[in-house]
């Protein structure tokens, strides 16, 4: 599996699946979450509302992941995951790593060969970019699919600026 770090806009990535740094409600928000919801169009919110009505009445737990269609995005899939929030005392690196490994497993389950990730939990959730980069790269590099032959060939970390990209590049 090839792993790379680039600067860019995750909503414009031409990959099979992009990962959304979602909140547990799945109803959109700020940052990456809001940008993905705006770019995907109203179908994404409708599908998220249906997930809340059926499979996830209490919301998506931290560290887990769930897929939806990509709607108006270039990506066919959006994999939603909720990162740990340091401001709420969620400081366990294993919980952050689970966001990446759970998302990869969901991507594998839907047949995605290429996946783009943001810096989950950096920014408003209070994790330092260097810590996110270290945990994310180690989690992705160490991930093994539940079944042989995951088909994931490319993982791309799509980062907001050169400082963030450099933090991830240093870990690659």
d(CA 19, CA 77): 8
- Of 93, 105, 110, 92, the C-alpha closest to 144 is 105
> Got the DSSP string for 73-140?
SSSSEEEEEE---GGGT---HHHHHHHHHHHHHHHHHTT-SEEEE--TTBGGG-B-HHHHHHHHHHHH
Q: Is-catalytic flag, 9?
A: no
Q: Which of 33, 58, 92, 109 is catalytic?
A: 33
Distance (Å) of CA 32 to CA 53, 106, 121: 24, 19, 11
- Of 151, 112, 159, the C-alpha closest to 1 is 151
* Residues labelled catalytic: 33
């Amino acid at each position: 599996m090839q792993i790379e770090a680039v600067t860019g806009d995750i909503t414009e990535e031409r990959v099979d699946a992009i990962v959304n740094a979602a909140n547990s409600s799945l109803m959109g928000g700020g940052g990456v979450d809001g940008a993905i919801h705006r770019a995907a169009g109203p179908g994404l919110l409708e599908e998220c509302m249906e997930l809340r009505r059926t499979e996830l009445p209490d919301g998506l737990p931290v560290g887990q992941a769930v897929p939806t269609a990509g709607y108006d995005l270039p990506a066919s899939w959006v994999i939603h995951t909720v990162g740990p929030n340091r401001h709420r005392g969620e400081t366990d690196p294993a919980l952050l790593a689970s966001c990446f490994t759970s998302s990869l497993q969901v991507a594998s389950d839907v047949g995605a060969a290429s996946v783009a990730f943001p810096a989950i939990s950096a920014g408003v959730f209070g994790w330092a970019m260097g810590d996110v980069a270290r945990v994310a790269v180690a989690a992705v590099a160490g991930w093994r699919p539940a079944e042989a032959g995951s088909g994931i060939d490319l993982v791309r970390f799509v980062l907001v600026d050169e400082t963030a990209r450099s933090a991830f590049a240093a870990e690659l």
